Every structure is written in structure tokens, then in C-alpha cells.
Copies of this chain bind each other. A is one copy, B any other.
Amino acid sequence: MANPRDPSAAPFVVQRNLVDQVVDYLTEAILASRFAPGERLSEAGLAAELGISRAPVREAARLMESRGLLVSRPRRGFFVRTLDVAELSDVFDLRIGLERHAFERVMTRFDADTEQRLHRQISRLCEVAAGDDEGLKIEEDLAFHRLVFELADNARLARAFDDLSFELRLCITLITRTHETPESIAASHWRLLEALKSGDPQRCRDEVDYHIGVARDSVIERLAEHAGVSRG
């Protein structure tokens, strides 16, 4: 599998094609709110702006549509995804379902190496949680949960989380910043690790529900504020 001559192996020097570059560009722009939610994106306009043809732009947009960052309307083009409270709630509810399953799988194969890797990731999270880079906090938080899915040893399950993670980023970055303190972020994740160590499925499940529930409520609350502000 790890044989360098394996033709299916990924190349060492990743030759980034235009599509991937456009995806990164658009993803970063949307998550940084440089495109307003609901804004229409013109294929030709973007292509001209980036100095390329429409083909890679179109392909990148289709990929981002499957990731839930853009929506397409036939013959109308692509629009930046907007999320109402119901959709947002659905996203976090699905996340609860996926994480419950992932944590349960990790618990059944919990060992010293698992604990060490999770421990290290929480430490990284604690480091950035003390700083001011909100984007970095989000990424390290997601990285912890991504690690859980990796340790759950189900590639398809991990991909389901990856698919959802783009929408999660969209949810989270809709709000400007988390109001959680570095201490509460750290404590919340330590409790998740403790629950895994305990081997108690019910406790682990409750902890996951609480953890995701807090994140959901926080985002919904902020969205309500935003909506109120934008209306008033």
C-alpha cells in the first residue's frame, strides 16, 4: 500500500490544478464573508477576475455546491448559501448523530495511543484558545472532532463529517466570534476525553449531546442577534 511505486499512490508534489485553486479561493472568500450570503456569483465574472476560462470556475462551483457552500439554480447560476435557523438546526442535529456514532466506535477501541493523540490535540486547542485568532480556534476545534472520526476507523463516516464540516464552518463563521472562554473550551473537550476513557456509553453520549448542543445554541443565538440587527 505504501509502496512508492504503487500507481494509485498520491504524488509527492501535488500538481494543483486550477479547479482546486478556485475552490480554495472561493471557500476562503465565503468563510471570510467577502461574499455576502445569497450573493450571485457569475461564472464569467469570476473567470475574468481570476484570468482563467469558465470551465474550471464552473467545475469548482459544482464541487462547492456538493459541499453546501453554494447553491445553483438552473440557468441562473450560483449563489452563496444562506442558512436559516431551521437549516442550521438540522446541520447540528446531523452532527450530533454522526458524533454519537463516532465516539461510540472510538470508545470500543480506546487505547493508550488513542488517548495520547486526543490529549495532544486538546493541548493544541488550549494553546490557540488563549490567543486572539478566532479562525484558528475554530480549525483546531474542528481538528479535534476530525481526529475522533479518524480514530473511529471508518473512512466513509469520516467523509460524512468532512462533507458536513464545510457547512459547519459556514454556520460558525456566520457569527463573528465565540463567546466561550479558553477555560470553558478546554474543559468541554477534556470532559469528552474523560467520557471516552470511562467506557460508559451513556455518559459519552450525554457529553457529546451537551457539547454539540452548546455549539448549536451559541450559533443559533448569534444568528438571531444578527437577524435582529440586520432588520432593525
Residues of A within 8 A of B (CB): 8, 15, 17, 55, 58-59, 62-63, 66, 73-74, 87, 90-91, 93-94, 96-98, 100-101, 105, 154-157, 160, 163-164, 167
Contacts and interface: CB of A to CB of B under 8 A. Distances in A.
A93 B59 contact: no
Contact of A59 (B17, B59, B97, B154): B59
A9 to B, nearest CB: 11
A74 B17 contact: yes
6 contacts: A90-B157, A94-B156, A96-B101, A97-B100, A97-B157, A100-B101
A35 B105 CA distance: 35
> Top 9 closest A-B pairs, CB basis?
A97-B101, A90-B156, A66-B66, A90-B154, A94-B157, A94-B156, A91-B156, A93-B154, A90-B155
A93 B91 CA distance: 20
Nearest to A55: B55
Contacts of A105: 93
Given A74-B15, A100-B101, A101-B100, A94 B154 contact: yes
A91 B157 CA distance: 8
Given A15-B74, A17-B74, A101-B100, A160 B63 contact: no
B17 A87 contact: no
Contact of A98 (B91, B97, B155, B167): B97
Contacts of A87: 155-156
Contact of A160 (B8, B15, B73, B94): B94
